[in-house]
Amino acid sequence: MKKTILIFIFTLAYGGIYIKYSKNGPIQNWKIDQIKNNISEYLLHGFIDLVNEKIKLINNR
């Protein structure tokens, strides 16, 4: 069976990002605020940095 992975990344008007992800089925989505003062440091700052690194890798392909 062929596996299909779809990833869509959109920039939101307020400076966040919206990610849609699907791997052979249901679509999962997340809205992530990019303004670090608005979110918990110990929970999400590292995750946001990781997401932004991966976006840069995708854009530089």
> Which residues of the chain, if any, have pLDDT below 50?
none
With a pLDDT cut of 70, the percent of the chain lying above it is: 92
Range of the domain at 50: 5-59
How many domains does one find in the chain? 1
pLDDT number for residue 35 = 82
The b/e string for 17-54 (b: 16+ C-beta within 10 A; e otherwise) is: beeeeeeeeeeeeeebeeeeeeeeeeeeeeebeebeee
